[in-house]
Amino acid sequence: MGGTADKRSQWLKGLLDLCVLAILTRGEAYGYEIARMLEEHGIGEIKGGTLYPALAKLETEGHVEATWRTSDAGPNRKYYVITESGRHALAAESAAWADFSTAASRLIGIDQ
């Protein structure tokens, strides 16, 4: 059936946008901070090649806005903030995910 890392990677494809939006409800953050928070919350290590395309997609969809800022501690950073559209998307997708995960858990016997 594949290794646990392979399965987590597959699951993450469908949930990364939702997780990023949830992180951004806590306040603005730049890419590395978002990746670190995802890892701290048990999602796992998210590489830039996965995270930055997701952030770009969320920005294109109008769910996040980004601004470049200078940094005294290194290179300029692109900060992301959730928009009202992003908050609505998060609410809708969170509800859909809760329904789906509950149904899947029942089906595979977790809630029996």
Q: What is the pLDDT of residues 70-93, one digit of tens each?
A: 888 888 999 999 999 999 999 999
Mean pLDDT estimate for the chain: 91
What is the span of the domain harbouring residue 38? Answer: 15-108
Model confidence band, residue 25 (pLDDT cutoffs 50, 70, 90): very high
Can you give the pTM of this predicted structure? Answer: 0.87
Residue 64: give its domain's CATH number. Answer: 1.10.10.10
Q: Tell me how many domains the chain contains.
A: 1
Whether residue 9 is contained in a domain is answered as no
Whether residue 7 is contained in a domain is answered as no
Whether residue 71 is contained in a domain is answered as yes
- Angstrom distance (rounded) from CA 112 to CA 106: 7
Is the pLDDT assigned to residue 12 strictly greater than 90? no
Contacts of 6 (CB under 8 A, 6+ apart): none
**3-state DSSP call for residue 1?**
coil
Model confidence band, residue 95 (pLDDT cutoffs 50, 70, 90): very high
- Angstrom distance (rounded) from CA 107 to CA 65: 39
Whether residue 6 is contained in a domain is answered as no
